[in-house]
Every structure is written in C-alpha cells, then in structure tokens.
Structure 1
C-alpha cells in the first residue's frame, strides 16, 4: 500500500471551507449527523460502510440513538490525508440523501 501524504494545516483549512459540516479535532475531522429516526441513522452507517470498504478507508463511527458521529483520520499516516477529505465528501453526499 502506498504511503499517504499528510495534508498541511493550510490544505486542511482549505478542505474545511468546502466541508462545512466538519470540524477539525487534532489529527482528525469530525461530523455528527442527526437522522430522522434510529433506523435512518443505521441505514446511513450501512451506506457509509459500503463507501468506506470500496475506498479501503474506514471511519470511526459512534451511534447514539439518532446521532451518528463520523471521525476521519489516516491512522497509518498519523493524521489527515486526501483519503479523509474524499471520504468526508462522500459521507456528506450520503447524508444529504432523503431518508
């Protein structure tokens, strides 16, 4: 597997201008989605799991009733990479779909 290049602070800030639902938390970016129902939140997690598997890049996911929190970081690189930004965009796309 090719080594991922860490993003600079400027590149992360630039990415977050487009990822308006995400916030930086140390070496990760985090977003919480509030689903309409608990099953809708689980369905979002299922869809994200498929996208993550296809990208071979897996978020940390915390489910609390209707609130689903996604945390992205490229652990093997020790921080944020382009893979995190790409998966964040995909999560945003999936979260915007009607339930």
Structure 2
C-alpha cells in the first residue's frame, strides 16, 4: 500500500490539467465530439491497464470528465499522479485541450451532535445499507449520490439550518466564484477559514460553503 500525499505535494506535482477537490483529482477534457472522446477514452483505458490503476471516466458528446483516487488507501498517492501525467500526455498527443476550471464537486453536510444515532439512518436511506457509514462520512460505493458528511456541533433545540452544501471548486477560481455569488445577491457570512472554506448566504439566509483543497 502506498503512502497518501499531502495537498502541498499534489500542488507541487505540476498537474496543470488537474485540480484536487474534496478527495480526488478531477479533470475535464474538451474532445468536441463523441468519436474523438471515444478515441481519447480508449487510449486512457490502455494506459490504465498498463499501469494497473484506473480512473473513473464519464464520456459525453463534448467532453470527457475524469476522477482519480487510490481507493485502497482512501486518498491520493503517487500512482494517481503518475496516471494523471500520462493522461495529460495522451491529451497532448491527440490535440485534446483541458478545461481545469470547469471541474466542481458537491458535498452534503449535516450538523449533528450524535453521528452514531443519525449516521446509519442516512447511510441506509441514501445507499440502501447502513454499512456505508465510514466514520463521519456516508460513502456510496456505487457513486450514485454525493458524499454526505456529518459536521460536529453542540446539541440544540432551537430550529436552525442543519443541512448545507459544500461546493468544491478549483483553488485558483474560488475568489471568482465567491464574487459571482455575492454579485448575484449573496453575502459572505464567515471567511475566517479562507482559503480552506468560506461561508456564504443567499438573500434569505440559507448558507453554503465554497471549499478548496488549500490549508487542509
């Protein structure tokens, strides 16, 4: 089993086509049409077989989305960096452009003072099995639903917002995304933990976080 990498190691790896979001490396390649996308995916598959490491691939008409993570470690390792570099080489060979700022990921967050009590319920509801609860996360092994994580909080009786969205974006566009949300009527509620995350609210007070991989 390989060692997991720190965020600094990942950022220093020179992966210009890729961005780290919540847990994995993500990339989008603009293939332009389905046939070009299929050629690109076929070449990626051959490289993945040769390296015995396989990405998650989504092939659509105009682009290909890729996700890399070492599931046996539950984190990013050198094998992910190696395959990411190889996929970038394949893209250059085929004349396929990357659009790293287009990637994003949604997490659901639920404030709770008792993960042991509520966690199995949400795991069973979302995935069909309470066994999908891993620590403070509900992880769907089939990738059907977003990650749900439980944010520790004090027990409370007063009604308040318990669910919020964590919107993971590339670290180099976070300020732009926050500015766009503010210009659209939102407000920054808390930026004490920037650039790791910034809490925003819509005009009615519903909150969400813009998250990046930095300072984690």
Report the TM-score, using the length of structure 2 for normalisation: 0.43
Tell me how far apart the structure 1 counterparts of residues 11 and 39 of structure 2 sit (CA, whole Å).
Answer: 30
Map 1:75-94 to 2 at 5 A. Answer: 75-94=71-90
Tell me how far apart the structure 2 counterparts of residues 58 and 4 of structure 1 sit (CA, whole Å).
Answer: 15
Tell me how far apart the structure 2 counterparts of residues 9 and 23 of structure 1 sit (CA, whole Å).
Answer: 11
Which residue of 2 is the match for residue 26 of structure 1? 22
Residue 9 of structure 1 and its aligned partner are, at CA, apart by: 1.8
Higher strand share: 2
Which residue of 2 is the match for residue 55 of structure 1? 51
* Pairing 1:8–2:10 present: no
Query: Which moves more between the two structures, 81-90 or 31-40?
Result: 31-40
Tell me how far apart the structure 1 counterparts of residues 26 and 48 of structure 2 sit (CA, whole Å).
Answer: 15
Residue 13 of structure 1 and its aligned partner are, at CA, apart by: 1.6
**Structure 2 alignment gaps of length 5 or more:** 96-216
After superposition, what is the alpha-carbon deviation per residue over 1:21-60, rounded to whole angstroms, capped at 9, x for unaligned? 1111111001100113210110000000000011110000
Query: What is the root-mean-square deviation in Å for CA atoms of aligned residues?
Result: 1.1
After superposition, what is the alpha-carbon deviation per residue over 1:61-96, rounded to whole angstroms, capped at 9, x for unaligned? 011212101100001011100000000000000011
**Structure 1 alignment gaps of length 5 or more:** none
Q: Which has the larger radius of gyration?
A: 2
Higher helix share: 1
